[in-house]
Amino acid sequence: MALLEIRDLEKRFDGRSGHDAHWVIRGLSFTVKEGEFLTLIGPSGAGKTTLLNLIAQIDGASGGQVRFQSEIAPIGDPKALRPGLSCRIGYVTQEDNLLPWRTALENVLFPLEVQGRLDAEGRARADMLMRAAGLAGFEHHYPHELSGGMRKRAALIRTLVYDPPVILMDEPFGALDAQTRTQLQEDLLRLWNLGRKTILFVTHDIAEAIALGDRALVLSRAPTTIAGEHAITLPRPRDIRGIMTHPDFAALYQRIRAQLQ
Amino acid sequence: MTTQDSALDLAAAPLARPYRVALGRLGLALMLLIGWKVGADVAGPLYVADPLKVLWRIIADTPSGVLPRHVYVTLRLSVLGFAVGCFFGVALPFLLRRVPRFSDAIEPYIMASVGIPKYALVPLFILWFGIDDAPKLLLVGLLVFYPVFIAVFAGIRNVDRRLIDMARVVGASETRIAREVIWNSLMPFFFAALKIALPRAVSAAIIGEFLVGNEGLGFLIENSRQNFDTVGVFTGIVVATALVLLINAIVVAIDRRLNAWRPADREMEP
Amino acid sequence: MNGSAPQEVSGRPPSGRLVATLRARADQITVLLVLVVAWQVLSVAFGTYWIGSPVGVLTRVMAGIASGDLLRHAGITLSEAVAGFLIGAVPAATLPFALRRYPVVSAILDPFMVGGYGAPKLALAPLFILWFGIGIASKIALVAITVFFIVYFSAQAGVRALDIKLVQMAQVVGANERHLARHIIFPGAVPYIFTGFRIALPYAIGGAVIAELISSNRGLGYLIQLGAMNFDTTGVFVALVATTCIVFLGNWSVNALERRLLRWRPPSDVRMQAGS
């Protein structure tokens, strides 16, 4: 059952003098099934962040439709945008965007506070997620006192804490070193397993896309559209560290890489 | 087209409709003037001078030379004090640079002396140096000295050490180093301080004139007050404000021309 | 700007640096002693009419504290500065937040605010004395108007320095306008507001003292004028010392408050902002 449906999504940026407009996204369509971990791979400049911004309703689209569970999101009208679609679409951005003046725990509790759900159950959930993400003991640390990896984890569980049905993730592990990235990928899958949310994960790293996803969509260069779709049949639970040695990995990798050219 | 527009729209909207803003400013200015007139009628001539009477006083006293004389006196005081303060503010850090041990030893006391309100020293200066221009000159000089000194001092400190070392290696003398490397490096700091110091000098001259002397805009304001000549008080304030704002504008214009390549920023000192 | 830039410390071994620091401290104490001795010498040479001696000043300060007189006058100046500061700073800090959603109003006001900021507010002292008399009201008014413009621009800078990504993040998790103002915009602007406080502080105290110098019958400015008119330089010095103490007290308070409220700031930001 399709949870999220994107139809003929379009985004055009007007140039400075008005006649310099270029299409960033054009004719983009795909669906996302409930409980699916969908990865989107694209080269730099493929408007990946723009795409997620459109779905999350942070930016308005120039055309097309975004349907959430058969409800049509008002993405055409900038005044009617509802970022996060009333907290049903979560968004883990590239920068962690933690509030510097809140401690780690306070940051994680922020969505609950804002949604009026800061009760005992919410707090318990936050505590559980802090422990699961390995941040136990750092609750009262400020973001500048945490390492890059820890901040990423905090940003991640900040979205998980209020349990949105769909979570968008924009290259969340891009700026980290390989060790930390692998660790975080394992953490992510482990946390994902707790609730099997629907995840839309954008990355430029083919290996990461294969390691994490149930299905991978390849994005073309601007004007971006879907260049290809690949089912990932590797068994779960995934072994991130050893994924490359799996027999099906190499062929899949080659197919995807060919499409990216 | 983003939610930024509805959530923030700071810069976009006003620029898109400059006429609205210009009209609004004109309207506000008019309202303030009308408010002034109404205030004068309501509060009475003792408390609020009638704007028309103020205008008339300015017009009457200008050709007679009375008002220009006050302006001249204040300006002369400001410029002299500014020159003195600037001179010491620039010279001292360069001298101190030559004696680093001494410089480090006295630095905390110089920084502590920043905390002494200079205006509070004026009665003492009057006591020591009489009722002529000396105490006022000293006040203006001090108020100019401190920002310039601190800026130049910090500027010298922050000069890239490697440039100095390089200059030494190729055989430059200490004076040459001071002139070429250090002076150029601290130019921006110095000009930033000047921007602050010049209007400050005029302000300080006016306030000094509150306390001593028989000429100048400050004298005009305070003396009028003591004589219950409210029109005089307002005249002095209007002229003083116009003078300082004019000097501010000139300084900003010069700065913009000299430093066209720098992003303009607002000075945080009245 | 205090403290040496890293370039200044060359590659000395740690023990060498410790010796250098100790030597600098000793130098500073030496300078202090020299200053005090010179002061005493000058006082003797010119006579205590012209220059109150350090001993005399110290004695008078202690007497003034014991009798409560000095504290009373200091308290008056301090309360003028504090009251004026609050009356000026509170609206100045809140106005930019209120105007955030109305950029046209903000743009209309801007030149008037710039004019108010550039105009010499202290020149209004006689006017306020005319209006409010020689009591504390005129001093409070002067301080308030001086502080207002300074804090207004700092707060405005803080509101404008908003990080849009944080706003977007908050909106995605469901924040409304009220939440944004309270949790995103205000905390982000606080460091800027504190910079404004720090800049405004000397003007607050200076303004109170100036107004007292012109016309007053209480306060430290009054004591300074009184001492000067009576050729009592010791009295003047005492009042000056008290005034300087208030300035230091004010600085210390603002810094202490800032340290508490802004514990979350990364050290690099603190260094950048402290330079103002």
| C25-40 confidence digits (pLDDT tens) | 888 899 999 999 999 9
| B56-103 confidence digits (pLDDT tens) | 999 999 998 899 999 999 999 999 999 999 999 999 998 998 888 888
The pLDDT, as a whole number, for residue A140 is: 94
| B24-64 confidence digits (pLDDT tens) | 999 999 999 999 999 999 998 899 999 999 999 999 999 98
Q: Name the pTM for this structure.
A: 0.83
pLDDT tier, C11 (very low <50, low <70, confident <90, very high otherwise): low
| pLDDT value at C127 more than 90 | yes
Q: Do C264 and A89 touch (CB under 8 A)?
A: no
B231-257: average pLDDT: 91
Q: Which residues of B touch A57 (CB under 8 A)?
A: 3
Question: 3-state class of A116 per DSSP?
Answer: coil
Nearest to B119 among C131, C167, C206 (CB): C206
Q: Mutate which of C162, C166, C168, C173 to disrupt the A interface (most A C-beta within 10 Å)? A: C173
Enter the DSSP assignment of C183: I
Q: Do A56 and C174 touch (CB under 8 A)?
A: no
Give the type of residue at B242: A
Go through chain A and tell me how many residues it has. 261
Beta strands A63-68 and A71-72 are antiparallel
Q: Residue A98 burial (CB < 10 Å; 0-12/13-18/19+)?
A: buried
Return left, alpha or beta for A2; rule: phi > 0 is left, psi -120 to 50 is alpha, else beta: beta
Q: Do B210 and C126 touch (CB under 8 A)?
A: yes
Cβ(B125)–Cβ(B139) below 8 Å:
yes
Chain B contacts in chain C segment 151-170 (CB below 8 A) = 153-154, 160, 162, 164, 167-168
Cβ(A144)–Cβ(C264) below 8 Å:
yes
Question: 3-state class of B125 per DSSP?
Answer: helix
| pLDDT value at B131 more than 60 | yes
Q: Mutate which of C169, C177, C262 to disrupt the A interface (most A C-beta within 10 Å)? A: C169
C2 at the B interface (CB within 8 A)? yes
Closest by alpha carbon to C161, among C137, C185, C139, C182? C185
Beta strands A166-170 and A22-33 are unpaired
The pLDDT, as a whole number, for residue A176 is: 83
| pLDDT value at B14 more than 80 | no
Of C156-160, C179-183, C265-269, the least confident: C265-269
Q: What is the DSSP string of A9-50?
A: EEEEE--TTSS--EEEEEEEEEEEETT-EEEEE--TTS-HHH
Phi–psi pair at A37, nearest 5 degrees: -105, 100
The pLDDT, as a whole number, for residue C222 is: 94
With the C-alpha atoms ordered A129, A130, A131, A135, is the resulting torsion angle positive or negative?
positive
Distances (CA, A) of C233 to B125, C92, C222: 11, 39, 14
d(CA B80, CA B204): 12
Phi–psi pair at A217, nearest 5 degrees: -110, 135
pLDDT tier, C194 (very low <50, low <70, confident <90, very high otherwise): very high
Residue with tokens 């930024």, as numbered in its chain = B4
| pLDDT value at B18 more than 50 | yes
Helix residue ranges per DSSP H, A92-239: 104-114, 120-132, 148-160, 178-195, 206-212
Q: Which residues of C touch B203 (CB under 8 A)?
A: 120, 122-123
Chain B contacts in chain C segment 178-207 (CB below 8 A) = 180, 195-196, 199, 202-203, 205-206
> For chain C, which chains pass the contact test of at least 3 CB pairs under 8 Å?
A, B
Return left, alpha or beta for B49; rule: phi > 0 is left, psi -120 to 50 is alpha, else beta: beta
d(CA B116, CA B114): 6
Enter the DSSP assignment of B153: H
Give the type of residue at C67: S
Helix residue ranges per DSSP H, A88-162: 104-114, 120-132, 148-160
The pLDDT, as a whole number, for residue C211 is: 93
| pLDDT value at C5 more than 60 | no
Tell me which residues of chain A have a pLDDT lower than 50. Answer: none
Q: % helix / strand / coil in chain B, to the nearest 5?
A: 80, 0, 20
Q: What is the CA radius of gyration of chain A?
A: 18
Q: Do A144 and C170 touch (CB under 8 A)?
A: no
The pLDDT, as a whole number, for residue B270 is: 38
Structure tokens at A53: 């911004």
Q: Mutate which of A59, A82, A89, A91 to disrupt the B interface (most B C-beta within 10 Å)? A: A59
Chain A contacts in chain C segment 254-273 (CB below 8 A) = 262-267
Beta strands A37-41 and A198-203 are parallel
Enter the DSSP assignment of C180: I
Closest by alpha carbon to C235, among C69, C113, C94, C12? C69
The pLDDT, as a whole number, for residue B34 is: 94
Enter the DSSP assignment of C184: I
Residues 6+ apart with CB under 8 A from A150: A104, A134, A135, A138
Greater pLDDT, B10 or C61:
C61
The pLDDT, as a whole number, for residue B5 is: 39
| pLDDT value at B10 more than 80 | no
Cβ(B235)–Cβ(B57) below 8 Å:
yes
The pLDDT, as a whole number, for residue A45 is: 63
C169 at the A interface (CB within 8 A)? yes
Q: Angle B106-B109-B112 (CA atoms, 0-180°, nearest 5)?
A: 155
Q: Do A114 and C187 touch (CB under 8 A)?
A: no
C164 at the A interface (CB within 8 A)? no
The pLDDT, as a whole number, for residue C86 is: 96
C95-99: average pLDDT: 92
C173 at the B interface (CB within 8 A)? no
C182-210: average pLDDT: 92
| C227-261 confidence digits (pLDDT tens) | 999 989 999 999 999 999 999 999 999 999 988 88
d(CA C60, CA A70): 85
Cβ(B237)–Cβ(B195) below 8 Å:
no
Q: How far C11 CA sits from the closest chain A CA (Å)?
A: 29
pLDDT tier, B266 (very low <50, low <70, confident <90, very high otherwise): very low
Q: How far B176 CA sits from the closest chain C CA (Å)?
A: 20
pLDDT tier, B216 (very low <50, low <70, confident <90, very high otherwise): very high
